[in-house]
Structure 1
């Protein structure tokens, strides 16, 4: 794939993550090949760090640090020998930003997870945001903001094989064990769960197996994977994140919610983009249909992660989780 093709493919994902579209175009138009992606994005992140250092106010410094975190994370989306360094830089930038901007934000880490707990100490509910195959806690700051705006506490995490932990751990299917340890560490009786992309599978699986999940939403999450049909780039990423081709094949074979969907007792919102068509991936409609309290929202013009359609689903997702955790009607009564 050429650099322009790769940049076009990542366009809505990057802008949906919150980077300025004009800056994205300036950076990607200068790429001679996909191999230049990581170094260019890393340089852009460092430019935002420099702006943070010279910022006149803590608010401006924090904003630049959040933007740096986004660029550092996006540097990892193309094959890049320094991906671990970029993920670590994203983690540091996010940590610095939250230290500057939110005195109550708290780092929470444990076996197989790390992340930031944000929001009021007396929040009526706590939500855990789960990333996917090659995403990380730095990618979904807008989702976190939507949940925080509804008065909820939010824990945005990296799990095994994700984000800053990708360099030292590998992805596995039994994510419910990780979330169980997260809930223990947070010290709450129940949680809401939002999973994005492969994180949608993790969230649905966890909701079926972890009784403390009281509300769940998935965004572009797979119902089932077929290894033989998956595009080569997806298989390559999965091999890197799981520890090799055979591990990746075995992992993909376990991604099937057929038996687990009927066991999801919590109110469930499943969000899909109508333009999200990836060979070997069965989208979430069967999950919503088989879950006892499932609601399906398909946005016809939405692509994978629906970065091109935020207003069509993000407010509804926030309301769904908020209502379910605070005693209102799930999904706003729909």
Structure 2
């Protein structure tokens, strides 16, 4: 999941309280996605109704597009396009009909940013995914960043930058029901099929995977079933989902991304790593936040315990996605992935 457990409902009687609660719940996530916190507080502070979230954030994004068009240099223009992509992405988090348009705008703005800032970046698409491959052509390893239920390839810039700084190539993707693909596809539990397509398209013998929120399940499922996964990291990923206990906003969102409530219920029933976790033989790092408690979502401790080479990191003060605790896990996780992909894996312990 990427939607916080205390996602407030939008009601006419409590509109201002709803906006304030939703904005506060998403602050660490928005800043983790690269939004300036002062601008975020200004934009959300002017909102009177949560139903106008998407409109307000797209207006802020378009202001950055205008700055890009006026910029005197390519670097400044590219930075404004990249900032616009982040604002368009966070516009998708609110209710209302703007999600598909905002996701498409985020995708386009990020493409314009990379054209200016990283002309070597490659757009790669397949039947079930869209993404950008960044980093050196001769990188010793490739890491695929997998988003969650309502996230996309434009969100996790700090993580991607940390991996790039360590010399790895990074493929940030939208899969079924995610980002720019959400308008035309629905979520699927057999995500290893998608990762297999990605590995084929990248032309690599092995990949590392980092999955965030529901992407953590996707990564663990793929690590159990796709032999080219050489190392995996999950961040705030679910071990198991219980549909009847999930908060209503999460159920509503999952229903939209699955194509209806019945499909969402079936999908949630498939999100269970009990049988798959022991099949994960590659190095696995599982990161959870101690303050990340969502009804109906079992955290990753069991995943780390059952996997053959699982390691577990719990940051007591971390929230969902640990956006309020990045120094406590992100640099170490990037170092861990770099080492896992460039050093031989330890022998499997006797079973």
TM-score with structure 1 length normalisation? 0.98
- One of 224, 240, 253 as aligned partner of 1:224: 240
Measured against aligned partners, the alpha-carbon deviations of 1:259-300 in whole angstroms (never above 9, x if no partner) come to: 000111110000000000000000000000000000000000
| Equivalent residue number for residue 208 of structure 1 | 224
In structure 2, stretches of 5+ residues that fail to align are 1-7, 9-17, 347-351
Q: Which residue of 2 aligns with 1:71?
A: 87
CA contact 2:283–2:345 (8 Å) conserved in 1: no
* Pairing of 1:155-174 with structure 2 (within 5 A): 155-174=171-190
Aligned pair count reads 330
What secondary structure sits across from 1:169 in the alignment?
A: coil
- Give the TM-score, by structure 2 length: 0.93
Q: Aligned partners of 1:327, 1:305: CA distance in 2, in Å?
A: 27
Contact 1:271 1:298 in 2 (8 A): yes
What is the rounded CA distance, in whole Å, between the counterparts of 1:328 and 1:236 in structure 2?
44
Could you list the runs of 4 or more consecutive aligned residues of structure 1 that deviate by over 3 angstroms after TM superposition? none
- Residue 76 of structure 2 is matched in structure 1 by 60
Q: Cα offset for 1:329? A: 7.2
Task: Work out the CA distance in 2 between the residues paired with 1:20 and 1:103.
Answer: 25
> Is 2:141 the counterpart of 1:130?
no
Q: Flag structure 1 segments of 5+ consecutive residues without an equivalent.
A: none
Matched, 1:111 2:127: yes
- Alignment correspondent of 1:280: 296
3-state SS, counterpart of residue 153 of structure 2: coil
Q: Does 2:50 correspond to 1:34?
A: yes
Asked whether the 8 Å contact 1:323–1:329 carries over to 2, the reply is: no
Distance 2:139 2:318 in 1: 32
> What's the C-alpha RMSD, in Å, of the aligned pairs?
0.9
Q: What's 1:266 paired with?
A: 282
> Is 1:153 aligned with 2:169?
yes
Task: Measure the CA separation in 1 of the matches of 2:224 and 2:26.
Answer: 32
**Could you say which residue in structure 2 is the equivalent of 1:291?**
307
- Greater mean alpha carbon deviation, residues 146-155 or residues 78-87: 78-87
Q: Secondary structure at 1:301's aligned position in 2? A: coil
How far has the Cα of 1:328 moved from its partner? 6.5
Deviations 1:51-70 (A, max 9, x none): 11111211111111111011
Deviation larger for 144-153 or 56-65: 56-65
